[in-house]
Structure 1
Amino acid sequence: MSDAVNNPDDIKEILAVHHSWLESNNDLVESKMYPNFANPGYLQFNLNGHQYDSVDEKVKLWEGLHEIGFNLSDMKIVEEPKVHAEGDLAYLTTYWSAQVSGDKGTGVLEPDPEPLVFRVTEVYRRDDGKGNPVWKIWHFHASPIASPDTPRFPQDA
């Protein structure tokens, strides 16, 4: 394995961005979220099923979620991130959990009874979107996990 693959310094920097991004999701704090992403150039496939084509669009999403009383809290890493970095590109996979709350007609933020657990993929590039050699997230994808009773094909042996 060459030194360009999974360099410990690169992994450390990528994980620092990942943890900063995770933390920014607690209470959806735009000012903490913004610095983790390439700008311009960021693209997200959100857990809500929609695509966001820039950090500015993501900020508008979070502002809109605040307006309707939606919130995330108690964000946690469920499975330690796996990072593969080679040269100036990297990807990270993991599972997160979050407590989701929203106004369910009562006028107060009520948490869902169980945390939401979902899988995460992040694509990193050592480029901040302006050509500076800084690790940033260029693509984020969150998706639901199949329930345990959902058949998997092909069947596990």
Structure 2
Amino acid sequence: MGVYSLLKFDPPLPPPTHSVEETPALLAWMLERDPVIPNHTELLETIHANTFRDEPAARLGYGQHLLLQIADDLALHPTQETLGTHLTLLAAAYRQAAGAYHAAASKGQGEANPSLWQMSSTASRLRVEAWVYRTRHGLPPEIIPPRRARASKVSGG
């Protein structure tokens, strides 16, 4: 799944969501009805439990962990500009996580739980937070792929 499919919303549209307090209902709606967000909750809970075994995060479920991350993201990025920048960076993180997962899977590393957790949780955060952005600002976020630095050629003289 590409980044842009996570940012595109077709009917039925999720409920308008402006605040952090509304995100639990939004996530529940998306997990039940959204055709794009990772929504195989039993598998997601298993991946989460295996990834965070013997760590404090293990006491949280997949959804609770996501909601804490989303709450942090929305609190740290309250303006259109900061949330837009954050979503661009989150999109880059999703691309990287998807690449890491596919590389691990191609080497036969089973479900590659840490990589799969990163990919699914980043996709979910991007989807939920993009909808909050759209609700707050009336338009979808503009995700511009980060520019890669070019190596400059030094000519000998």
- Specify if TM > 0.5: no
Structure-1-length-normalised TM-score: 0.29
Greater relative contact order, per chain length (Cα 8 Å cut-off, separation 6+) = 2
Which structure has more helix as a fraction of its residues?
2
